[in-house]
Structure 1
Amino acid sequence: MVSQSQAHWPTVPISARDVDGPLFFTDDEWTLVRAATARIIPTDYDPGAAEADVVRFLDRFLSGDFVYASATGDGFLEIRGKEAEAWQARIRHRQSVYREGLAALKALSLDKYAKDFHELSDDEQDALLVETSGRPKPRHVQLHDDEIFNSGEGGPPPTNQPVSDAGLGFFDMLVAHTRQGFYADPVYGGNKNFVGWRVIGFDGPKSLADTVAGRYTTTDYMIMGATWPYPQSPRVQRFGR
Protein backbone atom coordinates (compact mmCIF):
# COMPACT_ATOMS: atom_id res chain seq x y z
CA MET A 1 0.00 0.00 0.00
CA VAL A 2 1.41 3.38 -1.01
CA SER A 3 0.79 6.18 1.48
CA GLN A 4 -0.11 9.71 0.51
CA SER A 5 3.42 10.91 1.20
CA GLN A 6 4.90 8.04 -0.82
CA ALA A 7 2.77 8.99 -3.80
CA HIS A 8 4.93 12.08 -4.27
CA TRP A 9 8.26 10.22 -4.22
CA PRO A 10 10.00 9.92 -7.60
CA THR A 11 10.25 6.50 -9.21
CA VAL A 12 13.65 4.98 -9.92
CA PRO A 13 13.71 2.53 -12.87
CA ILE A 14 14.18 -1.09 -11.89
CA SER A 15 17.28 -1.19 -14.12
CA ALA A 16 19.09 0.93 -11.51
CA ARG A 17 18.95 -2.03 -9.17
CA ASP A 18 19.19 -4.80 -11.74
CA VAL A 19 22.98 -5.13 -11.82
CA ASP A 20 25.30 -8.11 -11.75
CA GLY A 21 26.90 -9.04 -8.45
CA PRO A 22 26.42 -7.75 -4.92
CA LEU A 23 25.49 -4.23 -3.87
CA PHE A 24 26.04 -4.77 -0.13
CA PHE A 25 27.76 -8.11 0.46
CA THR A 26 31.39 -8.73 -0.33
CA ASP A 27 31.99 -11.56 -2.79
CA ASP A 28 32.88 -13.88 0.11
CA GLU A 29 29.77 -12.90 2.05
CA TRP A 30 27.61 -13.46 -1.04
CA THR A 31 28.99 -17.00 -1.39
CA LEU A 32 28.48 -17.71 2.31
CA VAL A 33 24.91 -16.38 2.37
CA ARG A 34 24.01 -18.33 -0.74
CA ALA A 35 25.25 -21.55 0.89
CA ALA A 36 23.58 -20.87 4.25
CA THR A 37 20.18 -19.98 2.77
CA ALA A 38 20.39 -23.13 0.64
CA ARG A 39 20.38 -25.15 3.88
CA ILE A 40 17.42 -23.20 5.33
CA ILE A 41 15.32 -23.91 2.22
CA PRO A 42 17.27 -26.78 0.62
CA THR A 43 16.94 -28.09 -2.89
CA ASP A 44 15.29 -31.52 -2.96
CA TYR A 45 12.57 -32.65 -5.34
CA ASP A 46 11.62 -28.97 -5.49
CA PRO A 47 13.86 -25.95 -6.07
CA GLY A 48 15.18 -24.20 -2.98
CA ALA A 49 16.68 -20.89 -1.93
CA ALA A 50 19.60 -21.24 -4.34
CA GLU A 51 17.34 -21.53 -7.37
CA ALA A 52 15.15 -18.69 -6.11
CA ASP A 53 18.24 -16.45 -5.85
CA VAL A 54 17.40 -15.57 -2.25
CA VAL A 55 20.90 -14.19 -1.73
CA ARG A 56 20.12 -11.48 -4.28
CA PHE A 57 16.96 -10.51 -2.39
CA LEU A 58 18.96 -10.23 0.83
CA ASP A 59 21.70 -8.21 -0.82
CA ARG A 60 19.23 -5.74 -2.34
CA PHE A 61 17.35 -5.41 0.94
CA LEU A 62 20.54 -4.69 2.89
CA SER A 63 21.88 -2.27 0.29
CA GLY A 64 19.48 0.30 1.74
CA ASP A 65 18.16 1.66 -1.54
CA PHE A 66 14.77 1.51 -3.24
CA VAL A 67 12.59 0.10 -0.48
CA TYR A 68 9.10 0.16 -1.97
CA ALA A 69 8.25 -1.11 -5.43
CA SER A 70 6.12 1.29 -7.44
CA ALA A 71 2.51 0.38 -8.12
CA THR A 72 3.38 -0.40 -11.72
CA GLY A 73 6.03 -2.92 -10.67
CA ASP A 74 8.61 -1.50 -13.06
CA GLY A 75 10.60 0.57 -10.57
CA PHE A 76 11.08 1.65 -6.98
CA LEU A 77 10.04 4.71 -5.03
CA GLU A 78 13.02 6.83 -4.01
CA ILE A 79 12.18 7.59 -0.39
CA ARG A 80 13.13 10.97 1.01
CA GLY A 81 13.07 13.05 4.16
CA LYS A 82 12.16 11.51 7.52
CA GLU A 83 11.07 8.25 5.90
CA ALA A 84 14.51 7.87 4.34
CA GLU A 85 16.24 8.67 7.63
CA ALA A 86 14.13 6.13 9.50
CA TRP A 87 14.83 3.43 6.91
CA GLN A 88 18.55 4.08 6.93
CA ALA A 89 18.65 3.76 10.72
CA ARG A 90 16.78 0.48 10.49
CA ILE A 91 18.95 -0.89 7.72
CA ARG A 92 22.24 0.08 9.39
CA HIS A 93 21.32 -2.09 12.37
CA ARG A 94 20.54 -5.06 10.14
CA GLN A 95 23.72 -4.53 8.16
CA SER A 96 25.76 -4.77 11.35
CA VAL A 97 23.88 -7.92 12.44
CA TYR A 98 24.74 -9.58 9.14
CA ARG A 99 28.35 -8.41 9.02
CA GLU A 100 29.04 -9.67 12.53
CA GLY A 101 27.01 -12.88 12.10
CA LEU A 102 28.63 -13.85 8.82
CA ALA A 103 32.10 -13.18 10.20
CA ALA A 104 31.34 -15.40 13.19
CA LEU A 105 29.96 -18.19 10.99
CA LYS A 106 33.01 -18.06 8.74
CA ALA A 107 35.33 -18.17 11.75
CA LEU A 108 33.42 -21.12 13.22
CA SER A 109 33.68 -23.02 9.94
CA LEU A 110 37.43 -22.46 9.72
CA ASP A 111 37.90 -23.40 13.38
CA LYS A 112 35.84 -26.60 13.19
CA TYR A 113 36.71 -27.86 9.71
CA ALA A 114 39.54 -25.65 8.37
CA LYS A 115 37.32 -24.89 5.37
CA ASP A 116 34.99 -22.12 4.29
CA PHE A 117 31.30 -22.77 4.91
CA HIS A 118 30.39 -23.29 1.25
CA GLU A 119 33.05 -26.02 0.96
CA LEU A 120 31.47 -28.19 3.67
CA SER A 121 29.06 -31.09 3.28
CA ASP A 122 25.35 -30.55 3.93
CA ASP A 123 25.62 -32.27 7.32
CA GLU A 124 28.61 -30.16 8.33
CA GLN A 125 26.85 -26.97 7.29
CA ASP A 126 23.75 -27.99 9.24
CA ALA A 127 25.88 -28.68 12.33
CA LEU A 128 27.33 -25.18 12.20
CA LEU A 129 23.90 -23.60 11.72
CA VAL A 130 22.58 -25.57 14.69
CA GLU A 131 25.48 -24.31 16.79
CA THR A 132 24.92 -20.77 15.55
CA SER A 133 21.20 -20.89 16.32
CA GLY A 134 21.62 -22.50 19.74
CA ARG A 135 18.68 -24.82 19.01
CA PRO A 136 18.29 -28.35 17.61
CA LYS A 137 17.63 -28.78 13.92
CA PRO A 138 13.85 -28.82 13.30
CA ARG A 139 12.29 -32.19 12.64
CA HIS A 140 10.57 -33.01 9.38
CA VAL A 141 6.94 -31.89 9.26
CA GLN A 142 4.30 -33.73 7.30
CA LEU A 143 1.01 -32.07 6.49
CA HIS A 144 -2.05 -34.32 6.38
CA ASP A 145 -4.75 -33.29 3.94
CA ASP A 146 -7.60 -34.52 6.13
CA GLU A 147 -6.36 -32.52 9.11
CA ILE A 148 -5.37 -29.31 7.39
CA PHE A 149 -7.04 -28.72 4.06
CA ASN A 150 -10.44 -30.36 4.56
CA SER A 151 -11.11 -29.11 8.08
CA GLY A 152 -13.41 -26.31 6.95
CA GLU A 153 -11.75 -24.08 9.49
CA GLY A 154 -10.09 -20.77 8.87
CA GLY A 155 -9.51 -17.32 10.20
CA PRO A 156 -8.30 -13.89 9.26
CA PRO A 157 -5.41 -13.89 6.81
CA PRO A 158 -2.10 -12.75 8.26
CA THR A 159 -0.74 -9.30 7.67
CA ASN A 160 1.78 -8.77 4.89
CA GLN A 161 4.61 -9.04 7.41
CA PRO A 162 3.38 -11.36 10.20
CA VAL A 163 6.86 -11.68 11.71
CA SER A 164 9.00 -8.61 12.31
CA ASP A 165 12.78 -8.80 12.04
CA ALA A 166 13.18 -6.13 14.74
CA GLY A 167 15.38 -7.33 17.58
CA LEU A 168 16.28 -10.65 15.99
CA GLY A 169 19.73 -12.15 16.25
CA PHE A 170 21.71 -13.15 13.17
CA PHE A 171 20.39 -16.68 12.65
CA ASP A 172 16.72 -15.84 13.24
CA MET A 173 17.02 -12.79 11.01
CA LEU A 174 18.62 -14.90 8.28
CA VAL A 175 15.77 -17.43 8.48
CA ALA A 176 13.09 -14.73 8.34
CA HIS A 177 14.71 -13.00 5.38
CA THR A 178 15.28 -16.30 3.57
CA ARG A 179 11.56 -17.01 3.74
CA GLN A 180 10.77 -13.52 2.51
CA GLY A 181 13.20 -13.83 -0.37
CA PHE A 182 11.77 -17.18 -1.40
CA TYR A 183 8.12 -16.06 -1.44
CA ALA A 184 8.22 -12.29 -2.04
CA ASP A 185 7.32 -10.67 -5.34
CA PRO A 186 10.23 -11.21 -7.77
CA VAL A 187 10.56 -7.45 -8.21
CA TYR A 188 12.53 -7.43 -4.92
CA GLY A 189 15.26 -9.69 -6.29
CA GLY A 190 14.32 -13.16 -5.01
CA ASN A 191 11.70 -15.72 -6.05
CA LYS A 192 13.49 -15.90 -9.38
CA ASN A 193 11.23 -17.05 -12.21
CA PHE A 194 8.46 -17.38 -9.58
CA VAL A 195 10.21 -20.46 -8.14
CA GLY A 196 8.85 -19.96 -4.61
CA TRP A 197 5.30 -19.52 -5.82
CA ARG A 198 5.47 -22.51 -8.15
CA VAL A 199 6.70 -24.75 -5.32
CA ILE A 200 3.49 -24.10 -3.35
CA GLY A 201 1.23 -24.12 -6.40
CA PHE A 202 0.52 -20.39 -6.34
CA ASP A 203 0.15 -18.77 -9.75
CA GLY A 204 0.50 -15.24 -8.37
CA PRO A 205 0.18 -11.94 -10.22
CA LYS A 206 2.51 -11.35 -13.14
CA SER A 207 3.32 -7.92 -11.74
CA LEU A 208 2.38 -5.65 -8.86
CA ALA A 209 0.31 -3.66 -11.32
CA ASP A 210 -2.13 -6.58 -11.61
CA THR A 211 -2.70 -6.51 -7.85
CA VAL A 212 -3.00 -2.74 -7.53
CA ALA A 213 -5.42 -2.53 -10.45
CA GLY A 214 -7.58 -5.35 -9.08
CA ARG A 215 -6.93 -7.68 -12.00
CA TYR A 216 -5.64 -10.38 -9.67
CA THR A 217 -7.30 -11.91 -6.61
CA THR A 218 -6.39 -14.69 -4.17
CA THR A 219 -10.03 -15.74 -3.71
CA ASP A 220 -9.37 -19.20 -5.14
CA TYR A 221 -6.83 -19.84 -2.38
CA MET A 222 -9.18 -19.03 0.49
CA ILE A 223 -10.89 -21.72 2.58
CA MET A 224 -14.49 -21.57 1.45
CA GLY A 225 -17.16 -21.46 4.12
CA ALA A 226 -14.85 -20.26 6.88
CA THR A 227 -16.22 -17.71 9.31
CA TRP A 228 -14.80 -14.21 8.91
CA PRO A 229 -15.23 -12.04 12.01
CA TYR A 230 -15.00 -8.67 10.29
CA PRO A 231 -17.93 -8.18 7.90
CA GLN A 232 -16.71 -4.72 6.91
CA SER A 233 -13.58 -6.19 5.29
CA PRO A 234 -13.29 -6.51 1.49
CA ARG A 235 -14.97 -9.51 -0.08
CA VAL A 236 -11.69 -11.09 -1.14
CA GLN A 237 -10.63 -11.22 2.52
CA ARG A 238 -13.90 -12.81 3.63
CA PHE A 239 -13.14 -16.10 1.90
CA GLY A 240 -16.21 -15.63 -0.30
CA ARG A 241 -17.01 -15.03 -3.91
Structure 2
Amino acid sequence: MSIPNTPNTRRSFLGKALWLVPLASLQACDLPSGTAASPEGRAGPPGPTGANYVPVFLSKSEWAFVAAMSDRLIPSDAMGPGAVEAGVPEFVDRQMETPYAHGALWYMQGPFMAAAPEMGYQLKLVPRDIVRLGIAAANDACQRQFKKHFAELDHTRQEAFMRALQQGELALADVPAKLFFGFMLQITREGFFSDPIHGGNRNMVGWKLLGFPGARADFMDFANQNGAKYPMPPVSIGDANPKA
Protein backbone atom coordinates (compact mmCIF):
# COMPACT_ATOMS: atom_id res chain seq x y z
CA MET A 1 0.00 0.00 0.00
CA SER A 2 1.31 3.46 -0.80
CA ILE A 3 1.59 6.40 1.56
CA PRO A 4 -0.76 9.16 0.34
CA ASN A 5 0.87 12.55 0.00
CA THR A 6 -1.57 14.78 1.84
CA PRO A 7 -2.57 14.57 5.54
CA ASN A 8 -6.31 14.54 4.78
CA THR A 9 -5.94 11.75 2.23
CA ARG A 10 -3.74 9.85 4.65
CA ARG A 11 -6.25 10.19 7.48
CA SER A 12 -9.08 9.07 5.19
CA PHE A 13 -7.01 6.10 4.07
CA LEU A 14 -6.31 5.19 7.70
CA GLY A 15 -10.00 5.06 8.57
CA LYS A 16 -10.83 2.90 5.55
CA ALA A 17 -7.90 0.56 6.14
CA LEU A 18 -8.99 -0.06 9.73
CA TRP A 19 -12.09 -1.86 8.55
CA LEU A 20 -10.15 -3.95 6.03
CA VAL A 21 -7.46 -5.25 8.37
CA PRO A 22 -8.28 -6.75 11.79
CA LEU A 23 -6.36 -4.89 14.48
CA ALA A 24 -5.11 -8.08 16.06
CA SER A 25 -4.19 -9.88 12.84
CA LEU A 26 -0.48 -9.27 13.18
CA GLN A 27 -0.45 -10.35 16.79
CA ALA A 28 -2.55 -13.42 16.14
CA CYS A 29 -0.76 -15.15 13.31
CA ASP A 30 1.27 -13.14 10.81
CA LEU A 31 4.61 -13.09 12.60
CA PRO A 32 6.41 -15.88 14.38
CA SER A 33 8.43 -15.93 17.48
CA GLY A 34 12.09 -16.66 17.33
CA THR A 35 15.18 -16.24 19.38
CA ALA A 36 15.14 -14.90 22.90
CA ALA A 37 11.54 -15.96 23.51
CA SER A 38 10.42 -15.65 27.10
CA PRO A 39 7.65 -18.13 28.08
CA GLU A 40 6.49 -15.94 30.90
CA GLY A 41 6.54 -12.73 28.80
CA ARG A 42 5.32 -9.86 30.94
CA ALA A 43 1.93 -8.24 30.46
CA GLY A 44 3.38 -4.74 30.10
CA PRO A 45 5.29 -2.29 32.23
CA PRO A 46 3.46 -0.69 35.14
CA GLY A 47 3.90 2.91 36.15
CA PRO A 48 2.84 6.34 34.94
CA THR A 49 1.53 6.99 31.45
CA GLY A 50 1.57 9.99 29.16
CA ALA A 51 4.12 12.71 29.71
CA ASN A 52 5.62 10.90 32.72
CA TYR A 53 6.04 7.57 30.95
CA VAL A 54 9.56 6.09 30.98
CA PRO A 55 10.26 3.56 28.18
CA VAL A 56 11.07 0.05 29.36
CA PHE A 57 12.13 -1.65 26.13
CA LEU A 58 12.96 1.11 23.67
CA SER A 59 16.25 2.96 23.97
CA LYS A 60 16.36 6.74 23.52
CA SER A 61 17.22 6.46 19.82
CA GLU A 62 14.65 3.71 19.27
CA TRP A 63 11.96 5.80 20.96
CA ALA A 64 12.86 8.74 18.69
CA PHE A 65 12.60 6.48 15.63
CA VAL A 66 9.19 5.10 16.63
CA ALA A 67 7.90 8.60 17.38
CA ALA A 68 9.16 9.96 14.05
CA MET A 69 7.83 7.08 11.95
CA SER A 70 4.44 6.90 13.63
CA ASP A 71 4.12 10.67 13.24
CA ARG A 72 4.55 10.29 9.47
CA LEU A 73 2.14 7.35 9.31
CA ILE A 74 -0.59 9.15 11.27
CA PRO A 75 0.25 12.87 11.43
CA SER A 76 -1.78 15.40 13.37
CA ASP A 77 -3.94 17.54 11.08
CA ALA A 78 -7.19 19.45 10.93
CA MET A 79 -9.11 16.25 11.68
CA GLY A 80 -7.40 15.65 15.01
CA PRO A 81 -4.27 14.55 16.89
CA GLY A 82 -1.79 12.17 15.31
CA ALA A 83 -0.03 9.04 16.50
CA VAL A 84 2.46 10.79 18.79
CA GLU A 85 -0.24 12.80 20.54
CA ALA A 86 -2.27 9.60 20.87
CA GLY A 87 0.58 7.84 22.70
CA VAL A 88 1.54 5.34 20.00
CA PRO A 89 5.24 5.24 21.02
CA GLU A 90 4.17 4.29 24.55
CA PHE A 91 1.86 1.60 23.16
CA VAL A 92 4.72 0.15 21.09
CA ASP A 93 7.07 0.12 24.07
CA ARG A 94 4.50 -1.60 26.28
CA GLN A 95 3.73 -4.18 23.61
CA MET A 96 7.38 -5.18 23.48
CA GLU A 97 7.06 -6.49 27.05
CA THR A 98 4.12 -8.81 26.33
CA PRO A 99 4.12 -12.57 25.63
CA TYR A 100 3.24 -11.70 22.03
CA ALA A 101 6.43 -9.70 21.53
CA HIS A 102 8.55 -12.41 23.17
CA GLY A 103 7.13 -14.95 20.74
CA ALA A 104 5.49 -17.00 23.47
CA LEU A 105 2.27 -17.43 21.49
CA TRP A 106 3.75 -19.14 18.43
CA TYR A 107 5.30 -22.41 17.44
CA MET A 108 8.94 -21.49 16.85
CA GLN A 109 10.88 -24.50 15.76
CA GLY A 110 12.99 -24.66 12.62
CA PRO A 111 13.66 -25.05 9.84
CA PHE A 112 13.38 -21.38 8.84
CA MET A 113 13.33 -20.98 5.08
CA ALA A 114 11.89 -19.00 2.20
CA ALA A 115 8.37 -20.13 1.34
CA ALA A 116 5.28 -19.04 -0.57
CA PRO A 117 3.24 -16.26 1.15
CA GLU A 118 0.34 -18.63 1.80
CA MET A 119 2.64 -20.63 4.08
CA GLY A 120 2.71 -17.74 6.54
CA TYR A 121 5.57 -16.14 8.39
CA GLN A 122 8.80 -18.14 8.15
CA LEU A 123 11.47 -16.04 9.89
CA LYS A 124 12.95 -16.77 13.30
CA LEU A 125 12.51 -13.19 14.52
CA VAL A 126 10.01 -12.36 17.25
CA PRO A 127 8.33 -8.91 17.24
CA ARG A 128 10.91 -7.54 19.69
CA ASP A 129 13.66 -8.58 17.27
CA ILE A 130 11.87 -7.03 14.30
CA VAL A 131 11.61 -3.70 16.12
CA ARG A 132 15.12 -3.64 17.54
CA LEU A 133 16.96 -4.99 14.51
CA GLY A 134 14.76 -3.10 12.06
CA ILE A 135 15.31 0.26 13.72
CA ALA A 136 19.05 -0.29 13.95
CA ALA A 137 19.25 -1.30 10.28
CA ALA A 138 17.05 1.61 9.16
CA ASN A 139 19.11 4.11 11.12
CA ASP A 140 22.31 2.65 9.63
CA ALA A 141 20.85 3.05 6.13
CA CYS A 142 19.89 6.66 6.87
CA GLN A 143 23.34 7.33 8.30
CA ARG A 144 25.00 6.04 5.13
CA GLN A 145 22.73 8.02 2.84
CA PHE A 146 22.07 11.23 4.77
CA LYS A 147 24.67 11.23 7.58
CA LYS A 148 21.77 11.40 10.02
CA HIS A 149 19.45 9.03 11.84
CA PHE A 150 15.86 8.69 10.62
CA ALA A 151 14.41 10.88 13.40
CA GLU A 152 16.76 13.71 12.41
CA LEU A 153 15.59 13.88 8.78
CA ASP A 154 13.01 16.37 7.53
CA HIS A 155 9.53 15.06 6.79
CA THR A 156 10.07 14.87 3.03
CA ARG A 157 13.13 12.65 3.38
CA GLN A 158 11.48 10.57 6.09
CA GLU A 159 8.53 9.80 3.85
CA ALA A 160 10.74 9.04 0.86
CA PHE A 161 12.76 6.65 3.02
CA MET A 162 9.60 4.98 4.33
CA ARG A 163 8.30 4.58 0.79
CA ALA A 164 11.54 2.84 -0.15
CA LEU A 165 11.11 0.50 2.84
CA GLN A 166 7.51 -0.21 1.90
CA GLN A 167 8.40 -1.07 -1.68
CA GLY A 168 11.37 -3.20 -0.70
CA GLU A 169 13.85 -0.95 -2.50
CA LEU A 170 16.26 -0.98 0.47
CA ALA A 171 18.25 -3.95 1.66
CA LEU A 172 18.29 -3.81 5.44
CA ALA A 173 20.59 -5.97 7.48
CA ASP A 174 18.85 -8.75 9.45
CA VAL A 175 15.22 -7.74 8.63
CA PRO A 176 13.44 -7.56 5.24
CA ALA A 177 12.56 -3.91 4.57
CA LYS A 178 8.96 -4.61 3.51
CA LEU A 179 8.37 -6.75 6.59
CA PHE A 180 9.73 -4.05 8.89
CA PHE A 181 7.62 -1.34 7.28
CA GLY A 182 4.49 -3.49 7.40
CA PHE A 183 5.07 -4.32 11.06
CA MET A 184 5.55 -0.66 12.01
CA LEU A 185 2.45 0.37 10.05
CA GLN A 186 0.35 -2.31 11.73
CA ILE A 187 1.51 -1.64 15.29
CA THR A 188 1.07 2.11 14.78
CA ARG A 189 -2.48 1.48 13.63
CA GLU A 190 -3.11 -0.77 16.61
CA GLY A 191 -1.75 1.80 19.04
CA PHE A 192 -3.92 4.55 17.57
CA PHE A 193 -7.12 2.50 17.84
CA SER A 194 -6.47 0.26 20.86
CA ASP A 195 -8.13 0.67 24.21
CA PRO A 196 -6.28 3.44 26.11
CA ILE A 197 -5.55 0.97 28.91
CA HIS A 198 -2.66 -0.25 26.72
CA GLY A 199 -1.01 3.16 26.48
CA GLY A 200 -2.17 4.29 23.04
CA ASN A 201 -5.32 6.00 21.78
CA ARG A 202 -4.80 8.63 24.47
CA ASN A 203 -8.02 10.52 25.22
CA MET A 204 -9.65 8.03 22.83
CA VAL A 205 -8.77 10.23 19.86
CA GLY A 206 -8.81 7.25 17.47
CA TRP A 207 -12.25 6.16 18.60
CA LYS A 208 -13.60 9.71 18.41
CA LEU A 209 -12.29 9.96 14.85
CA LEU A 210 -14.34 6.90 13.84
CA GLY A 211 -17.30 7.45 16.13
CA PHE A 212 -16.59 4.16 17.90
CA PRO A 213 -18.37 3.91 21.30
CA GLY A 214 -15.70 1.82 23.00
CA ALA A 215 -16.35 -0.59 25.85
CA ARG A 216 -19.86 0.37 26.91
CA ALA A 217 -21.62 -2.63 28.40
CA ASP A 218 -25.16 -1.86 27.29
CA PHE A 219 -26.51 -0.39 24.05
CA MET A 220 -30.15 -1.47 24.46
CA ASP A 221 -31.42 2.12 24.67
CA PHE A 222 -30.07 2.72 21.18
CA ALA A 223 -31.08 -0.54 19.49
CA ASN A 224 -33.18 -0.30 16.31
CA GLN A 225 -32.47 3.39 15.88
CA ASN A 226 -31.27 2.97 12.33
CA GLY A 227 -29.48 6.01 10.96
CA ALA A 228 -29.53 7.87 14.28
CA LYS A 229 -26.22 9.27 15.52
CA TYR A 230 -25.00 7.59 18.70
CA PRO A 231 -24.96 10.41 21.28
CA MET A 232 -22.66 9.02 23.99
CA PRO A 233 -18.89 9.56 24.23
CA PRO A 234 -16.59 6.54 23.97
CA VAL A 235 -15.66 4.57 27.08
CA SER A 236 -12.37 2.80 27.85
CA ILE A 237 -12.07 -0.50 29.68
CA GLY A 238 -10.32 1.45 32.42
CA ASP A 239 -13.20 3.90 32.93
CA ALA A 240 -14.68 2.96 36.28
CA ASN A 241 -17.34 5.68 36.08
CA PRO A 242 -18.03 6.49 32.42
CA LYS A 243 -19.67 9.82 31.67
CA ALA A 244 -23.33 9.62 30.71
Partner of 1:215: 218
Partner of 2:46: 16
Q: Which letter does structure 2 place at the counterpart of 1:180?
A: E
In the TM superposition, 1:45-124 aligns within 5 A as: 45=78, 46-64=80-98, 85-86=104-105, 93-124=126-157
The answer to whether the 8 Å contact 1:108/1:128 transfers is no
Report the TM-score when normalising by structure 1: 0.56
Pick aligned residue for 1:128 from 140, 148, 161: 161
Partner of 1:198: 208
The answer to whether the 8 Å contact 1:64/1:88 transfers is no
Question: Counterpart of 1:49 in 2: which secondary structure?
Answer: coil
Partner of 1:234: none
- Percent identity of the aligned residues? 31
Shift of 1:110: 1.3
Question: Counterpart of 2:133 in 1: which secondary structure?
Answer: helix
Shift of 1:40: 0.8
Q: Which letter does structure 1 place at the counterpart of 2:94?
A: R
Going from structure 1 to structure 2, the CA distance change for 1:15 and 1:95 (only over 3 Å counts) comes to closer
Q: Which letter does structure 1 place at the counterpart of 2:179?
A: G
Dislocated runs of 4+, deviation >4 Å: 12-15, 219-224
Q: Which whole-Å CA distance do the structure 1 matches of 2:134 and 2:85 have between them?
A: 23
Structure 1: 5+ residue stretches without partners:
1-11, 68-83, 137-167, 225-241
The answer to whether the 8 Å contact 1:56/1:189 transfers is yes
Deviations 1:178-235 (A, max 9, x none): 1110001000110011111122233433xxxx4xxx3357x779977xxxxxxxxxxx
Figure out how many residues of one structure are paired with residues of the other and give that number: 158
Q: Which whole-Å CA distance do the structure 2 matches of 1:58 and 1:222 have between them?
A: 38
Q: Which whole-Å CA distance do the structure 1 matches of 2:134 and 2:44 have between them?
A: 30
Question: Counterpart of 1:169 in 2: which secondary structure?
Answer: helix
Backbone CA RMSD of aligned residues: 3.6
Shift of 1:33: 0.4
Bigger Rg, structure 1 or 2: 1
Report the TM-score when normalising by structure 2: 0.55
